[in-house]
Each structure stands twice: as C-alpha cells, then as structure tokens.
Amino acid sequence: MIELKGVTKTYELGEAKVQALDEVNLELSKGAFAGLHGPSGSGKTTLLRVVGLLETPDRGSYTFRGEELTGKSHGERSEYRKRYFGFIFQTFNLIPELTVYENVEIPLMISETGGDKREESVNRICEEVGLGHRLSHRPGQLSGGQMQRVSIARALVKGPELVLADEPTANLDTETGNGIIELMSEMNQRHDNSFLFATHDPTITDYLEEIRTIKDGRVRS
C-alpha cells in the first residue's frame, strides 16, 4: 500500500542543518501492524509525518495505493489525510472542553458526514474501544489509558486505510500501555486497516508483526 524510495528530509536550525531522513526506503502492505523502532532523534517521527503527509520530503518518491504523492498541493494532501489517514498521538491531543462523544465526532464533522451516520459511527467505535459508558465525560475526567482510547476511537471512526501512531504508550504505565497496544491489534484485525507506529519502547515491538529499525535517519531493517 505504501512505498517510499530515497526519501530525504533536512531541517535548517539557524545556521545548522540536521538531516532527519537519509535516503529512506520503506514498504508497507495493506493490513500491516508495523513499527518504526529507534531512539529519540533517530528520525522515526519525521518519517511518520512524511508518511502522513504532514511533512514534505526534500527528495525521493512516496507512492500510496499506487499513486505518486510527491509534489501534491497542500489542498490535495489535506484531502488525502481526511480520506485515508487516522492519527494517534503521544499526548492524546483531545479538546478538553468537549466530551468523549464530541472529540470522536470531529473527523466526521470535518468530512461533512451526515448527522445520523455520525451518531451511529461514533457510538459503534466507542463501544468497540470500551468507552460506550463514557460518552458524556470530558478528558479531565478520564485516566490516561481512557484518553488514549478516545484517541484511538477518533482515529478509527471514519474508517481510515492507514493509522499512524506516534509513541502511543509513552505517557502510560507498562500495563496500561500493553492494553492499548492489544486494543490496537484487535482493531487492526477487526477493521483490516494498516497501523504504523513510531516508538522507542522495546515492549511494544513484541506485539508488532513487522519492525523497521531506524537510526540516524536511515532505516536499517
């Protein structure tokens, strides 16, 4: 489903240049449950952002579902993200003033999904992630694990083909984090969408079907 060839990304920090990605090649098949494993500063988050069309590479090619995405306009990239991608973040990125239901509903509102279908989709996915009894709660009333479940529901509610998760267990204790990975594995199998993680946590790799090690901006395996 995804193929990157020779992807390079360099940032300018004042007068210094930092090469975050160096001639990266990467393939990901449909339905994969895969991870990018490496230490802080290895380039894994930058690579995840390139795959999610949040960053543009300096050079190289990126093919998604057989279509070359390199050179797409800002608007075209936004449409791809809206249609095909879901995102799960380390810090949850929930809106504190909104309820669980309203946070999960946001992607459907952005895509202008009709009200009845929005309600059905939000209720269904919240039940699947174990939050059917928390729909009226706000993030401040939830545990860290529950907030990450909201993030997972929000990422999945529109039925994306690819879910990108950046350090999804970094702010959770080991037991809760393992439960979150197990939940995502279950969702991966149930919905047949692809998951790609960026993580430095070695315990997560035990759950992954495919692992790519990244170091100094290069994918090693």
Does 41 have pLDDT greater than 90? no
Pairing of strands 218-219, 210-215: antiparallel
pTM of the predicted model, to two decimals?
0.92
Is pLDDT above 70 for 158? yes
Model confidence at 128, pLDDT cuts 50, 70, 90, reads very high
Q: Is the pLDDT of residue 221 over 70?
A: no
Where do we find the tokens 């929930």? 94
Mean pLDDT over the full length of the chain = 93
Contact between 204 and 35 under an 8 Å Cβ cutoff? The reply is yes
Comparison of pLDDT for 16 and 134, the residue scoring more: 134
Per the CB < 8 A criterion, the answer to whether 51 and 1 are in contact is no
Residues 173-207 pLDDT 10s:
999 999 999 999 999 999 999 999 999 888 788 88
pLDDT for res 120:
96
Question: Which domains are present in the chain?
Answer: 2-219 (3.40.50.300)
Q: At 89, which helix (H) or strand (E)?
A: none
> Which has more pLDDT, 220 or 195?
195
Angle between helices 144-156 and 115-128 (to 10 degrees): 140
Give the percent of the chain with pLDDT over 70: 100
